């Protein structure tokens, strides 16, 4: 006896891991689909992550950018150096021009931080949007920097290294 139902072949999706990656991570072991830590996750690694993000944000951002292969470590340090120089001149001169210039510079830094956060979210498939990235960058930039640093593993826990980290290689 034959069954009268006509069975159609179904496509079956199979998850294939590449290299040594685990489910929920990429080929470098970086977490995908969610942030590795919460916004206040820097408390898990106060030295160096919390310290660097709050006291030396330019170095942390430079390490994150270098790690991702976006801008070089020295380019980011140079940009932060220019902003700090403008801030110093603005503080010393009390000139409306320099005050305006520092406002524009800080706005550009916050925008760059939000774009870096968006880039990380897109690369690792983390839910969210540009508005949320901007809000976190404005309201708690240092916390956002620490979260990004934890996510891309741009620092070595327990060690305050000020140099550039190894850049991740991506083939896609």
Residues 33-76 pLDDT 10s:
999 999 998 888 888 988 999 999 999 999 999 999 999 999 99
Residues 70-99 pLDDT 10s:
999 999 999 999 999 999 999 999 899 999
3 state SS for 99-149: HHHHHHHHHHHHHHHHHHHHHHHHHCCCCCCHHHHHHHHHHCHHHHHHHHH
Name the residue ranges covered by the structural domains of the chain.
41-152
Can you give the pTM of this predicted structure?
0.81
Q: Which string of b and e fits 5-39 if b means at least 16 CB within 10 Å? A: eeeeeeeeeeeeeeeeeeeebbeeebbeeebbbee
């Amino acid at each position: 006896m034959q069954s009268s139902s006509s069975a159609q072949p179904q496509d079956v999706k199979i998850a294939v891991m590449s290299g040594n990656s685990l489910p929920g991570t990429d080929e470098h072991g970086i977490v995908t689909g969610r942030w590795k830590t919460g916004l206040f996750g820097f408390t898990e690694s106060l030295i160096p992550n919390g310290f660097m993000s709050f006291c030396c944000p330019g170095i942390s951002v430079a390490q994150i950018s270098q790690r991702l292969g976006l801008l070089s470590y020295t380019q980011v340090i140079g940009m932060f150096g220019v902003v700090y120089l403008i801030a110093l001149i603005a503080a010393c001169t009390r000139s409306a021009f320099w005050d305006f210039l520092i406002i524009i510079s800080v706005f550009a830094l916050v925008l760059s931080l939000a774009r870096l956060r968006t880039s990380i979210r897109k690369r690792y498939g983390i839910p969210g949007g540009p508005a949320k990235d901007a809000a976190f960058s404005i309201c708690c930039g240092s916390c956002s920097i620490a979260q990004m640093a934890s996510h891309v593993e741009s620092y070595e826990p327990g060690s305050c290294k000020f140099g550039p980290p190894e850049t991740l290689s991506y083939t896609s």
